[in-house]
Amino acid sequence: MAIAAATRETIINLRAAAAQRALIDRAAQVQGKSRTDFMLEAACEKARQVLLDRTVFALDAKRYARFVELLQAPVRQKKAVRRLLGKRAPWER
């Protein structure tokens, strides 16, 4: 389920400087969105970036060497790779 399609059931309150509110309002207006929709979309986009940037995995030396080997190997299943790359990411749905 896309976040934007979820029922809004939680209130988020925040304080901002008048200049910040005006900037947000102008940007929201340019995109034809309400302040709330604009802010939620921007906050969720930033949250996704932060979380994706923090994804880490660790490998021992042997598994790391295999991982690098696989990355450098030519693509064998071109049809499957094209299908995978043609799909939208779950957070873009």
pLDDT of 8-20, one tens digit each? 889 999 999 999 9
23 or 57: whose pLDDT is higher? 23
Where do the structural domains in the chain lie, given as residue ranges?
3-88
Looking at the structure, give the CATH architecture of the domain made up of residues 3-88.
Up-down Bundle (1.20)
What pLDDT digit, counting tens, does each position of 28-75 carry? 999 999 999 999 999 999 999 998 888 777 899 999 999 999 999 987
> Is the Cα torsion angle 49, 66, 59, 77 positive or negative in sign?
positive
